[in-house]
Amino acid sequence: MKDYKTERVVILKCSLDMGKSIILYRNELVRRSPIEIPDEWPSYSFRGILPCYLEQIENGNGALKTWIAADLLGKRMIGDLMLDEIKGQPNHGYFEMHFIDKEAESAFLRECMLLFLHYIVVQYPKKLKAIFTISHAKETYRNSFLRDCGFHQYEDDGLFLTWKLDITDKEINRE
């Protein structure tokens, strides 16, 4: 993935070297980085999946993809993104986006989501027909924004909402 960015935010693919630095050499990464790396970054979900992702890269197989998001003006890491295929459902992916705090989410959710969706539509037009994501039922801003992006509520278990975005040829040609 080429870097996707606006004037305020950039989304970068998490490389093998970056992933290893996050896991094995975090203190050195924080010390040498030209941008601030908050203690809350990356999310616990990202940290938990990172060893599997690195093994997948080293073995040259697997469908999990990871990215990191940075605030260009504030010069700090703000979030992470993950996309994986859903086993048993061809052409369907599961997507997660996490931010370091609620302030970062309210400031950057719109830009990060739109950049990422543009990337998905451009990079996976034949492979990915739908993506799913989950949110807390009480996250009104995120839920409203997902709806605005074309996601529709797929499931509601009372605590969490599952959202689905169908990726169609019409969306692919919308550049």
Hey, what long-range contacts does 46-51 have (CB within 8 A, 24 or more apart)?
46/80, 46/82, 46/98, 47/22, 47/23, 49/82, 50/14, 50/19, 50/22, 50/23, 51/23
Q: Which CATH superfamily is domain 4-172 in?
A: Gcn5-related N-acetyltransferase (GNAT) (3.40.630.30)
> Considering only 107-111, 132-136, 165-169, which range has the smallest mean pLDDT?
165-169
User: Residue 143 CA to chain centroid, in angstroms?
Assistant: 16
Q: What is the pLDDT of residues 134-143, one digit of tens each?
A: 999 999 999 9
Q: What is the pLDDT of residues 30-86, one digit of tens each?
A: 999 999 999 999 999 999 999 999 999 999 888 899 999 999 999 999 999 999 988
Tokens of 76: 């700090």
The answer to whether 71 and 109 are in contact (CB under 8 A) is no
| pTM (predicted TM-score) | 0.88
What residue spans define the domains of the chain? 4-172
